[in-house]
Structures are given as structure tokens and as C-alpha cells.
Amino acid sequence: MEIGFAVPVSGSWATPENQVRIARRAEELGYHSLWAFQRLLFPAEPATKWAEAYRSVQDPVVTLAYLAGHTERVRLGVAVLNMPFFSPALLAKQAATLDVVSAGRLDLGLGLGWSREEYAASGVPYEHRGRRGEEFLRALHALWTEEVAEFHGDFYDFPPVRLSPKPVQRPHPPVLLGGAAEPALRRAGRLADGWISSSGADLSRLKEPITMVREAARAAGRDPESLRFVCRGVVRVGPPGNPERRPLTGSYEEIRGDLDMLRAQGVTELFYDLNFDPGIGSPNADPAASMRRAEEALEALAP
């Protein structure tokens, strides 16, 4: 199981200097990957409970492009970009460019999003998200892989066009889909290179969604063994011995001990994410204290 680490993208610790410090040290320690996430907006008056980590978030594409110039080996992932907030042509261009400037290190996580506020601000209807997403993926694939791409669908339409330069990775950067509902899981199995769990997932129960993705791949005539299963590991470091603790919480020894459980469920990659700890990923957190805690975790949990 490969091990990655999420860079500072949420809250007061998400500064360029801190991002580079974490990225460079993670690469030195042998981490396989660095990860960011997308949150476009935060509603002024949320109708439902939003995570503290969503209040102030750096753009992940810009962040990863910046870090591509400060690293050499480590892979750069986003979990996830929401397809409806882009056009296929725009995302195809941005992702191809990021793959070029990183020398082929991009892992592209894609999703549909759930925030009605973000949909409204993007000028996209909230209905038919699944159909829109499947069409988006087909259009994206055409732009990346065909010398002259043409597409005519219900949601996206473009005449014969050329997108250049193409991504470094062929046929294109790995596409990993998010989502927890059954249609989303089956979509990942049919169309993607793998699946990414969400920040709110119960990490003790990943076997069921992973099995569903694999079954969908098999039914579509694809090899389930070729798929990647990436776990966003929301880490909360604390005192040991809590009998009700959730996976990846507690002491470093307990957190490291959870890796076998995740591996046994079929997880192929895990990245530790401290952005969702309110004491770290909040605009109100002390950035210096956040970095001290994050760098301690980075060292203690190194692969």
C-alpha cells in the first residue's frame, strides 16, 4: 500500500511557504504522493453543517502546479475536482498542462460535487449530475487521446478541434472517481482507473464500496486488479487507549496499526490528511502550531 500526505490547502496554515516545506520534506521521507482537494465556495449562511476545513481553501490545480516546480519525484494528486464546474476543454487543457509541468506526475481525482451553492455559482443545473459526469468523461478522453476530437452530446458539444500539448502520461493521467452512492461506485468501475474515498467515509467499512467498484469493472469487461483504491486518511492525533476511537485517530502507534485493516479491505493507496482536523485546517487556527503538529505527524507516519 502506497502512502501519501495532503499538503496544506485549508485554513491559516495553507501558505506557499508551508506548502513547499511539507512537499519537500514528504519527498525526502519517501512519501509516494502529495494531495490537495477542491472547495469552490463556502455559503454565507449554510443550510446544513459544513466542515470547518471548507471555509478557506486554496485552488488545487494552482497549488499542485506550484508544487510541481518544487519537487522532483513525488506524485501530485487532487481528490477531487468537480467536473460540472469546468468545461471538458478547460479541464483537459489544465490537466494536460499540469501533467507536462510535473513531468507526468498527475493523479486526477474527479467527482460531481454536492453543494447546491457551488452549482448555482457555476451556472450549472443540479439535476442529471450522473449523466452529465459520464458525458464529461467521454469528452475529456476524446480531447486527450484523439488528434482531432469532435463531440456531440446532451450536455457538451464541440466541433472538430485539436488539444495540444497532450498529457505526458499516455493515454492520459490516471482518472480516479469519487462518490459513495451506488451509481457513482459503478461508474468508477466502468469508466475510471480507480476510486477515492471521501473525507467523511467510515474507514472501517471500505470493503463494500471497493467490492462494488470491482464488480462493476468485471461486468464491463475490465480487469478489477488494475484499479487503484485511494483512501483519504483523515488523521486526528490524540491520546491512546480510547475504546471508541475511529480509524486513523489516537496515537501514532494506533494510527500506523490501522494500515493493515485498510490494506485487508482492498485499499491500494492511503494519504494522510490533516486539513480536516479543526485545530489545523481552520482559518482561526494558529498556523505555527498547525505546522508543528503537521511536521511531527509527517515524520512519525513516514513510510
- Output the DSSP codes for the chain: -EEEEE-S-BSTT--HHHHHHHHHHHHHTT-SEEEE-------SS-SS---GGGSSB--HHHHHHHHHTT-SSSEEEEEEEEGGGS-HHHHHHHHHHHHHHTTS-EEEEEE----HHHHHHHT--STTHHHHHHHHHHHHHHHHH-SSEEEE-SS-EEEEE---SPPSSSS-S-EEE---SHHHHHHHHHHSSEEE--TT--GGG-HHHHHHHHHHHHHTT--GGG-EEEEEEE-EE--S--TTPPTTEESHHHHHHTHHHHHHTT--EEEEE-TTSTTTSSTTS-HHHHHHHHHHHHHHT--
Nearest-angstrom CA–CA distance, 64 and 60? 6
Classify each residue of 116-126 as buried b or exposed e, where b means 16 or more C-beta atoms within 10 Å of its C-beta: ebbbeeeebee
pLDDT tens column, 152-205: 999 999 999 999 999 999 999 999 999 999 999 999 999 999 999 999 999 999
Are 107 and 77 within 8 A, CB to CB? yes
For residue 64, report the phi and psi dihedrals to the nearest 5 degrees.
Answer: -70, -35
Q: What is the pLDDT of residue 139?
A: 98
Q: What is the pLDDT of residue 154?
A: 98
Amino acid of residue 95: A
**Averaged confidence pLDDT in the chain:** 97
Q: Is the pLDDT of residue 283 over 90?
A: yes
Q: Is the pLDDT of residue 40 over 90?
A: yes
Amino acid of residue 211: T
Q: Is the pLDDT of residue 48 over 90?
A: no
Q: Residue 101's closest CA among 63, 147, 139, 59?
A: 63
Q: What is the pLDDT of residue 163?
A: 98
Q: Residue 264's closest CA among 197, 192, 203, 217?
A: 203
Grid cell listed for 67: 508544487
* Residues of the chain above pLDDT 90, percent: 99
Mean pLDDT of 9-28: 98
Q: Is 170 exposed, middle or buried (0-12, 13-18, 19+ CB in 10 A)?
A: exposed
Could you give the angle at the alpha carbon of 244 between the alpha carbons of 232 and 235, nearest 5°?
A: 25
Q: What is the pLDDT of residue 49?
A: 87
Mean pLDDT of 244-272: 98
For residue 236, report the phi and psi dihedrals to the nearest 5 degrees.
Answer: -130, 100
Amino acid of residue 208: E
Nearest-angstrom CA–CA distance, 192 and 107? 12
Q: CA separation (Å) from 104 to 110, 170, 177?
A: 18, 9, 19
